Amino acid sequence: METIDRAMYLQKDEELQEEWAKHLKPYGVKLPKKNSQSRIALLVLFVNINKAMDIDEIKKIVEYLIGTTLEGGDPCQVRHFSTQRGFNIIKEGKKFKLVSMEDPFPGFIKDKRSTKLTDELWEKLKEEYDNMCLNCGSKHGEPMRWDKTKNTVLQQGHMDPRKPLAYDNCIPQCSFCNQQYKSKAIFNKRGFVIDYCKTGFYRNERIMDSVGEGAAVLAAMRATADNIPLGAAGTWQAV
């Protein structure tokens, strides 16, 4: 690896911040936190703007700059810089290229919280997750992980079953995982279960309406699962 000038990267980080604030912040593009792995990976692309860089090369430079070995193929989540954060980055195989700091990624949605999940956005969402079930990793069109006799067809699963199926509240799931969890689990974007109710969250809301808050709390306590069915979410790297 060529000698890396840490001082130059530090100076360029200030320039990156200025360019983002001037051109991209008004569009709702999200700049990673300063000194985070993601921020340094973005900085590497900024220093090499308009140059396609292999993900392994980006990873090695980040490791050198932070002095720590990183695990996984894309530990800095570079693949999400465009569709999720809004940076104008294109992917060419295993290579990523920052095209411009003046315009956001084409089709970037500033506020996904109330955006209706259209067919176009559903296809886009599946691409964000590499066309894989977020829980077990089964890939669309390929044999399912838990039933090799069937090919995976991704379904629209709720991240939080208490909320509408909008763009920011949808995760791709295979039919097996979707049926297993139903309305019982609340996930984060990495597929980890962050809350679970054996009887289902909707059912507890109906209990609340019909018999009162105290009974609903008691029902929820009784419904706590001893064996929460966890998927293969640990295979997903942290953002």
Every domain of the chain and the residues it spans: 6-100, 119-230
Are 60 and 53 contacting, i.e. CB atoms less than 8 angstroms apart?
no
Counting Cα atoms < 13 Å in the Cβ hemisphere of 199 gives: 15
Are 187 and 193 contacting, i.e. CB atoms less than 8 angstroms apart?
yes
pLDDT higher than 70, residue 227: no
The pLDDT of residue 239:
32
Confidence of residue 237 (pLDDT cuts 50, 70, 90): very low
| Number of other residues whose CB lies within 10 A of the CB of residue 94 | 13
β-sheet bridge partners, residue 191: none
The 10 Å CB-count burial string (b at 16+, else e) for 69-85 is ebeeebbbbbbbbbbbb
CA-wise closest residue to 30 among 76, 74, 81: 81
Q: Computed over its alpha carbons, how large is the radius of gyration of the chain? A: 21
What is the per-residue pLDDT across 114-158, written as a single tens digit (0 to 9) for each? 567 788 889 989 998 999 999 999 999 999 998 899 999 999 999
> Can you tell me which residue has the tokens 């530090």?
10
What is the per-residue pLDDT across 71-112, written as a single tens digit (0 to 9) for each? 888 899 898 898 788 999 998 888 999 999 999 998 777 666
The pLDDT of residue 191:
87
| Number of other residues whose CB lies within 10 A of the CB of residue 134 | 26
pTM of the model: 0.53
The span from the CA of 88 to the CA of 114, in Å, is 23
Q: pLDDT higher for 214 or 195?
A: 195
Share of the chain above pLDDT 70, in %: 81
